[in-house]
Amino acid sequence: MDKGTPSSALPTCAISLNINGTNRVLDIHPWVTLLDLLRGPMELTGTKKGCDHGQCGACTVLIDGERVNACLKLAVSIDGAEITTIEGLGTPQDMHPMQKAFVEHDAFQCGYCTAGQICSAVGLVAEGRAHSRAEIRELMSGNLCRCGAYTNIADAIEHVLDQEGVTPLREAAE
């Protein structure tokens, strides 16, 4: 390649994604991660970059309902997938129950890991695997929070689980 070649001259792939309920047909470079696609061209900056190596969980989104680190997925590898980001869960005026619980329990301080924590928590509830406080802690351990809001995050998730009656949490914990 010669100096000055624009990156647009490089090969792209066509994929389609459903992002927060909207179908998008995209022409993207094969090396673009889902995270960079969301934060860049899609302008969905609610999903955060904390490490780009799958170590912190800040970029957790839901792909076909499952929680995934968006930094570890090349966008071209998930053609046809349904993506839910934090923006797709709720808005400041109309919050998802997990978002409300996070506010109520002060389950964040700086707020940077929060989108990932909430998407992960929503994914966790859907998995139906968390039956005790210890299991919540274990199964949320892929989402780091440097402000140390962990106990409040566990409170928020417990609150939602209780509310939804998804699992007999209290009994199982005893």
Partner 1 sequence: MLNETKVVGLPLSRIDGPLKVSGSAKYAADHGGHGMLHGYAVPATVATGRIVEIETGLAERFPGVIKIYTHENRPRTAKDDDKWKDAVALPGHPFRPLENDRILYDGQPIAMVVAESFEAARDAASLVRVRYVAEEPHTDLGREQTRSYVPPQPRREEFVPPEPRGDPQGAFGDAPFKISSEYRLEGEYHNPMELFASTVLWEKDGFLTIHDKTQGSQNSRDYVCNVFGLDPEKVTVKNSFVGGAFGSGLRPKHQLFLAVMAALDLKQSVKVEMSRREMFYLTWRPATIQTVSLAADREGRLLSVMHHALQATSRYEDYQENVVNWSGLAYKCDNVRLSYGLAELDVSTPGDMRAPGAATGVTALEMAMDELAYEVGIDPVELRLRNFATRDQNQDKQFTSKALDACYREGAARFGWDGRSFAPRSMRDGNDLVGWGMATGIWEATIMPAEAKVRLSADGKAAVSAAASDIGTGTYTVLGQVAAEALGVPIDDVTVLIGDSSLPKTGVEGGSWTAASSGSAVQAASDAVRNTLLKHAKSMPNSPFGQASQDEVTLAEGRLVLDRNHQVGVSIGDIMDAAGVSFIEEHGKVAPDQEQAKKFISYTHSAVFVEVKVDEELGVPRVTRVVSAVAGGRVLNPKTARSQILGGVVMGVGMALHEEGMVDHRTGRIMNHNIAEYHMPAHADVEDIEVIFVHEEDDKVSPLGAKGLGEIGIIGVAAAVSNAIFHATGKRIRHFPITIDKILETSEEVRCS
CB of 63 closer than 8 Å to CB of 50: no
Q: Are strands 13-19 and 82-84 parallel, antiparallel or unpaired?
A: parallel
* Tokens at 23, concatenated: 């179908």
Nearest alpha-carbon partner for 60 in 95, 89, 84? 84
Does position 150 bind partner 1 by CB under 8 A? yes
For the bound state, the minimum distance from the C-beta of residue 166 to partner 1, rounded and expressed in Å, comes to 19
Task: Write the CA distances from 150 to 34, 74, 83, integer angstroms.
Answer: 27, 30, 26
Q: Which of residues 117-136 bind partner 1 (CB under 8 A)?
A: 118, 136
Closest CB to partner 1 among 82 and 133? 133
Closest CB to partner 1 among 68 and 136? 136
Question: What is the distance between the alpha carbons of residues 29 and 75, in angstroms, rounded to a whole number?
Answer: 9
Does position 67 bind partner 1 by CB under 8 A? no
Does position 110 bind partner 1 by CB under 8 A? yes
Q: Which of residues 25-54 bind partner 1 (CB under 8 A)?
A: 29, 31-32, 36, 39-40, 43-53
For the bound state, the minimum distance from the C-beta of residue 12 to partner 1, rounded and expressed in Å, comes to 12
* Tokens at 7, concatenated: 């990156």
For the bound state, the minimum distance from the C-beta of residue 80 to partner 1, rounded and expressed in Å, comes to 23
